[in-house]
Structure 1
Amino acid sequence: MTTVARVLIDSPLPQLDRLFDYAIPAGLAGEAHPGVRVKVPLRSAGRVVEGWLVERGEIEAPERPLSELDAVVSTVAALTPELYALARKAADRAAGSAGDVLRLAIPKRMVRAEKAWLAAPEPPAPVVDAQSAAWADGILNVYPGLAEAIAAGERLAIDALPRPAVERVVGAWAELLAALAVSMLASGRSTLLVVPDQRDEDQVLAALEGRAPADTVLRDDARRSGPERYGGYLRLLNPAPAIVVGNRSTVYAPARDVGAVVVWDDGDPLLAEPLSPGIHARDAALIRQELEGSALIFAGHTRTTDVERLVQLGWVREVPAARRASPRVILSATREGESRGQRVPSAAFAAAREALAEGPVLVQVARPGYAPVLVCADCRTPARCTHCGGPLRARRAGAVPDCTWCGRSAPSWSCENCRSTRLRMASSGSERTADELGRAFPNTRVIIADGDHPVERVDAKPALVIATRGAEPAAVGGYRAVILLDADRMLMAEQLRVGESCLRWWSNAAALAAPGAPVHLVGVSGPVARALATWTHDAYARAELADRSPLLMPPVVRVAAVTGPASVVDATLAQLREDVPGLPAAAVLGPVPVEDGVRALVRFEYGQGRRVADTLRAAVVAEAIRGRRRPKTGAPRTTLRVRLDVPELDL
């Protein structure tokens, strides 16, 4: 028998996504252990590449000599067996490569950080003081049976209380996540807190401050420097438990003895990985829970149809709060005698005026800027850039319009339809809204919060806070009133999940209101508005699932996108029909022409996922091998691309 090293080569080529056997030279026998980075030769390419030594195995004497490991890059076993198993299973489910997942999960190696970690002593077991433990138990007791369910490693869905925290300027949801983590730490186990963005991380970290030992709380996101991120990753390789707070890649963090993985607001598109193989943090968390048996909690102010489907299947259990809580939502519409085009109805205007006597008022708008959309003043045709066709905008009143795509100004614009040179502002952004409301409420402080003007929090003094969706700052004690403008415009987006998205945007803003403060939803009625007013998000999610079921729309089914040359896509679809029994002809939408070939969508049942993924992956590998054999003609070679679980059915 011969001992070999099985290596996963770090390469984007799909045909190299498997373990290769290499002989271990005598000089590297003591360093070549599973999990280390190595350099290995590639016979076909005649070069040396990096990879991961996944395992050592025994084989019979090979028919021909094996290539030897070239070098061990680092003796640190940065790839744990659990992480490789997670990456492999997640990649197989998404018809992708394990190497792509590992590049997202493992930060780039930093030699100084590695040396500092090797020289430092192992951190001691953390100690949670009695006061913090009691605080965490008090928060968890709001949800009867939650602590026991987490200890049993269950999959749970929790609707967070929609109100600000009492002691700190954070949401009650941040305190819930912090309490979960502190409770796990007190029992000697780690917790992964996965949130959409930096603002959410800041809230959770603020809730944890002083309640968990500082050296046990790690922030994991791409905004940190390379040495900091890699040093934090190495810290998780120690046996001492930790609390990891980060974005979508945190779900892969190699923390030891994870007691719970918490995914906050899984409907946020920031939790969907844009890079290959495009695995949503929710799906990666489900895979990890299945492999490790830790508790898994989906928490949010709203319920996505994806989680509701799992609840209906019994795969995830709902844990309600002991006492139902909801904001005071008012559906504001124009009254008799008011102009239908009036942006702020009199009821919402009066509520804002009354609330400003006590503290800040939040006004949520759809878009940033001054006038994000311009149209022809005569025929109402949307104004477009003559260079690239992008929409024109106005940065301020009387300013020369410019293009939102290419940035070119359009001083001599004329309408293509009627040749008019007059423009009209068709929408109001955050800056124009601030200008208008500032005139309506003189001597009132106006604060703009959007992508160009980020604001983390505001004080309790009277102020009008004009914020775009998702950029709303927290207020000390909560807002005395919340006005949700442009709701009808938000619902006009041509997206499958527009109703879910709007309900999530509005609910997250409503949760910033002080207890008993009015929340005015302006100019919208129908199922989404009723769900917000009655705070019955789970019922709305169930209704959405029922509506999508006969249409075979996700998440009732899974969807794969296949893009590439027409002949290759046709052959792949034919192979799918042959390999996947029961796949109906109506399951395929397209192909339709796109910029680099054609694109088809394939809808399939969850039980068919393994066969569909295997077939698509085999087609990608076969096309990649054929592409290398084609003669180089100078023209770009189109390749086959697949992605499973696409967020939108966009042909």
Structure 2
Amino acid sequence: MTGLPVARVLVDSPLPQLDQLFDYRVPERLAGTAVRGVRVRVPLRSGGRIAQGWIVELAERSEYRGELSDLDDVVSDVPALTPDVWRLARSAADRAAGNASDILRIAIPPRYVRAERAWRAAEPDPGPLPDRPTAIDGYGPGRVERGIAAGERMALAADARPVRLSSGAWVGGWARTVAQAAAHALAHDRSTIVAVPDYRDQEQLEAALAEFVDPRRVLRTDARQTGPARYRAFLDATGDAARVVIGSRSTVYAPAARPGVIIVVDDGDALQSEPLAPGVHSRDAALIRQEQTGAALLFLAHSRSVDVQRLVEVGWVHDVPPLRGARPRIVLTEQQAAPESGGARIPSAAWREAQAAVTAGPVLVQVARPGHTPMLVCDRCREPARCAACGGALVVPRGGGTPACGLCGTAATAWRCGVCEGTKLRAAVVGASRTAEELGRAFPRSRVVVSDGERPILRVGAEPQLVVATRGAEPIAEGGYRAILLLDGERMLLRESLRVAEDCLRWWSNASALAAPGSPVFLVGVGGALGTALATWRQAAWAAEELETRRTLRFPPAVRMASVTSSHERLAAALERVRGVDGVDVLGPTPAADEGLERAIVRFGYAAGVEVAQRLKGEAIRAATERRRPVAGRRPGRPPVVRVRMDDPDLP
């Protein structure tokens, strides 16, 4: 072969047959710039076109016996793909039966030439390291610090109270814990990677980090940044200086130098699940990276996910209980000594507490959904009311009047329940706007603030006010809320999902942690084991019971599941390939949303995950490369497709 170096390139393509390294000859003109980790352009012989890719390795010779093609060009001589990120992307893609290039598309921002030039011209000044290691409060003297030093995997219950920083800003106690852990690792010249659900959490975390580390050591990598700013922060992270890199789920892939601790906050939040192919959850990516780098790993949440509970029970993650401290004072209205008659949305006890509390400070009212129009259900069986014409949800028009379909507008003049034949309707959920209007009339002297997805509010002051917020959009209040009302709990539990109870417990726990010490939190309309878990603040015990139930039923995360979608013949072939693996069983197939396709669910144990992923991906490659004989007089059809989604979050 040639005496010139050989570049082994991963082509940036979603085609499964291209998810491998291809050898290219490095021409003389590119010998100085074609280094490991740079973005390049390469020719594709079969397609007769130029594609982009990444140089993953350089070698003296190639095992390919034919003539190698030359690299076309080097797009950027900045080695943006670090060896650590490549190993993580390759392992995560293999676990998810996906393409490594899809992972890299999520991990590495698009290139901006001006930002790259400015980064090259700038003098690196990351600021000083902390003078001494920071103590981490709340978990016993030195317990978490020793775990970080040993590269331990730990599950921590977050501090369930708002705390005031020396700057005067109020943040959740969890943010201070994360900042202390980051400062501790930074004092030992080790980087920290923190993945939070959304920008609300990130704003609190940034405020807390400013208390313990130099802001120049903190890098943001999130979708709210401009493209150039995000790319510049990514380039800064590729340097040799230890950093604290914070952001959303994709931050797990950040090219931080010498990772000392990886922190995933509230891993049960749906925002931590990556919707883009191959759909690797930030929790799974963090577990892979921790094992590859030896860094410590912290899962921090008010309500532990069932997935983390499984890891604790198998001994892969260590439970680090907090010291006994303050926890929210939860009141279950369903367990009142004298239950009230009728369907009052806010029980009288909670109403009286809210009236008294709003004179002293802010009061939070959590509702299930935004908007104004209430959702209707059958008064007898509580089944959601549907339109007889199109199946859409029935709602009450804003000005009042006859209920009508929210999709087609058909009036429900003679509605009848399809389950129990009932004819009466009742409002199950009133939107945030409607709730604000009703509370405004009931509390005429109080200011009413609405916070939802369309009108997000991050913080409110300590002055008297009513804050109506949808789940997940609750602002933090100075000094904490003087009372919290958790409404619509019964309706939240009606959502069709395996994880609905787990999600509700997490939503209620996160909102409850915003209360001022000693202030009441009323959970309306929910009792039983779920309400008791919140009232006693024993979410981990509830997760253990839930996990045991799922083991009995063979539901995730006790087992893994994958959805496979294809045509009838191709799906049958794919299922036949995995049926021979020990512990695998198949549910379905059933018709898929796409016309002419079917979907089946493959259920398997964790030990069989590698083999199942390999076989399903092999079938996807076989389908993508299949050549059909053309039929005279017909246009060539699209090749058959096999779509695989490991650990599909959309499965019921």
Check whether TM > 0.5. yes
**Counterpart amino acid of 1:599?**
R
Alpha carbons 2:192, 2:243 under 8 Å: kept? yes
1:81, distance to aligned residue in structure 2 (A): 0.9
1:488, distance to aligned residue in structure 2 (A): 1.2
Q: Choose the corresponding residue for 1:145, options 143, 146, 152.
A: 143
1:339, distance to aligned residue in structure 2 (A): 2.3
Classify the secondary structure of the residue corresponding to 2:564: strand
Q: How far apart in 1 are the matches of 2:129 and 2:602?
A: 52
Alpha carbons 2:415, 2:423 under 8 Å: kept? no
1:607-646 to structure 2, matched below 5 A, reads 607-626=607-626, 633=635, 638-646=640-648
Alpha carbons 2:405, 2:411 under 8 Å: kept? no
Residues matched between the structures, number: 639
Q: Which residue of 1 aligns with 2:260?
A: 259
Q: Which residue of 1 aligns with 2:310?
A: 309
Where structure 1 has 5 or more consecutive residues not aligned to the other structure, the ranges are none
Alpha carbons 1:329, 1:521 under 8 Å: kept? yes
Q: How far apart in 2 are the matches of 1:155 and 1:339?
A: 49
Q: How far apart in 2 are the matches of 1:401 and 1:342?
A: 21
1:404-415 to structure 2, matched below 5 A, reads 410=409, 414-415=413-414
1:292-342 CA distance string (max 9 Å, x none): 000000000011111111111111011112224321111113664732311
Alpha carbons 2:136, 2:144 under 8 Å: kept? no
Deviates more, 1:23-32 or 1:331-340: 331-340
Where structure 2 has 5 or more consecutive residues not aligned to the other structure, the ranges are none
Classify the secondary structure of the residue corresponding to 1:367: coil
Classify the secondary structure of the residue corresponding to 2:171: coil
Alpha carbons 2:156, 2:300 under 8 Å: kept? yes
Q: How far apart in 2 are the matches of 1:602 and 1:247?
A: 30
Alpha carbons 2:416, 2:423 under 8 Å: kept? no
Matching of residue 557 in structure 1 with residue 559 in structure 2:
yes
TM-score calculated relative to the size of structure 1? 0.93
Question: CA separation of 1:262/1:319 partners in 2, compared to 1, >3 Å: closer, same or farther?
Answer: same
Q: Which residue of 1 aligns with 2:456?
A: 454
Q: Which residue of 1 aligns with 2:104?
A: 102
Alpha carbons 2:389, 2:410 under 8 Å: kept? no
**Counterpart amino acid of 1:615?**
R
Question: CA separation of 1:532/1:92 partners in 2, compared to 1, >3 Å: closer, same or farther?
Answer: same
1:84-163 to structure 2, matched below 5 A, reads 84-124=86-126, 126-128=128-130, 136-137=134-135, 139=137, 144-163=142-161
Question: CA separation of 1:261/1:62 partners in 2, compared to 1, >3 Å: closer, same or farther?
Answer: closer
Classify the secondary structure of the residue corresponding to 2:212: coil
1:531, distance to aligned residue in structure 2 (A): 0.5
1:576-605 CA distance string (max 9 Å, x none): 123x2x235xx2110011122111111101
1:27, distance to aligned residue in structure 2 (A): 1.5
1:365-404 CA distance string (max 9 Å, x none): 1111122424699999966568864324446343897865
1:142, distance to aligned residue in structure 2 (A): 5.0
1:36-62 CA distance string (max 9 Å, x none): 111111110111111101111133685
1:539-578 to structure 2, matched below 5 A, reads 539-578=541-580
Q: How far apart in 2 are the matches of 1:129 and 1:95?
A: 45
Q: Choose the corresponding residue for 1:165, options 156, 163, 166.
A: 163
1:457, distance to aligned residue in structure 2 (A): 1.1
Alpha carbons 1:568, 1:640 under 8 Å: kept? yes
Classify the secondary structure of the residue corresponding to 2:429: coil
Question: CA separation of 1:465/1:199 partners in 2, compared to 1, >3 Å: closer, same or farther?
Answer: same
Matching of residue 222 in structure 1 with residue 223 in structure 2:
yes
1:501-540 to structure 2, matched below 5 A, reads 501-540=503-542
Classify the secondary structure of the residue corresponding to 1:38: strand
Q: How far apart in 2 are the matches of 1:290 and 1:616?
A: 25
**Counterpart amino acid of 1:163?**
R
Q: How far apart in 1 are the matches of 2:372 and 2:620?
A: 46
1:247-646 to structure 2, matched below 5 A, reads 247-333=248-334, 336=338, 338-374=340-376, 389-394=391-396, 396-398=398-400, 410=409, 414-415=413-414, 425-578=427-580, 580=581, 582-584=582-584, 587-596=585-594, 597-626=597-626, 633=635, 638-646=640-648
Q: How far apart in 1 are the matches of 2:126 and 2:441?
A: 59
1:427, distance to aligned residue in structure 2 (A): 2.9
**Counterpart amino acid of 1:4?**
V
Q: How far apart in 1 are the matches of 2:628 and 2:482?
A: 64
**Counterpart amino acid of 2:586?**
V
Alpha carbons 1:267, 1:304 under 8 Å: kept? yes
Identical counterparts, % of pairs: 52
Q: How far apart in 2 are the matches of 1:337 and 1:156?
A: 42
Classify the secondary structure of the residue corresponding to 1:170: strand
1:461, distance to aligned residue in structure 2 (A): 1.1
Classify the secondary structure of the residue corresponding to 1:165: strand
Alpha carbons 2:624, 2:639 under 8 Å: kept? no
1:453, distance to aligned residue in structure 2 (A): 2.1
Alpha carbons 1:278, 1:643 under 8 Å: kept? yes
Question: CA separation of 1:279/1:629 partners in 2, compared to 1, >3 Å: closer, same or farther?
Answer: farther
Q: Which residue of 2 aligns with 1:20?
A: 22
1:542, distance to aligned residue in structure 2 (A): 0.7
Alpha carbons 1:363, 1:464 under 8 Å: kept? yes
Alpha carbons 2:19, 2:99 under 8 Å: kept? yes
Question: CA separation of 1:486/1:321 partners in 2, compared to 1, >3 Å: closer, same or farther?
Answer: same
Classify the secondary structure of the residue corresponding to 2:271: helix
Classify the secondary structure of the residue corresponding to 1:67: coil
**Counterpart amino acid of 2:319?**
E
Question: CA separation of 1:388/1:634 partners in 2, compared to 1, >3 Å: closer, same or farther?
Answer: farther
Deviates more, 1:482-491 or 1:324-333: 324-333
Q: How far apart in 2 are the matches of 1:337 and 1:107?
A: 56
Q: How far apart in 1 are the matches of 2:452 and 2:63?
A: 65
Q: How far apart in 2 are the matches of 1:256 and 1:395?
A: 56
Q: Which residue of 2 aligns with 1:11?
A: 13
Classify the secondary structure of the residue corresponding to 1:549: helix
1:243, distance to aligned residue in structure 2 (A): 0.8
Alpha carbons 2:127, 2:214 under 8 Å: kept? no
**Counterpart amino acid of 2:330?**
V
1:524-580 CA distance string (max 9 Å, x none): 1111111101111111111011111121111010101101101111111111123x2
Q: How far apart in 2 are the matches of 1:509 and 1:617?
A: 42
Alpha carbons 1:327, 1:519 under 8 Å: kept? yes
Question: CA separation of 1:609/1:377 partners in 2, compared to 1, >3 Å: closer, same or farther?
Answer: closer
Q: How far apart in 1 are the matches of 2:14 and 2:628?
A: 14
Q: How far apart in 2 are the matches of 1:629 and 1:205?
A: 60
1:283, distance to aligned residue in structure 2 (A): 0.1
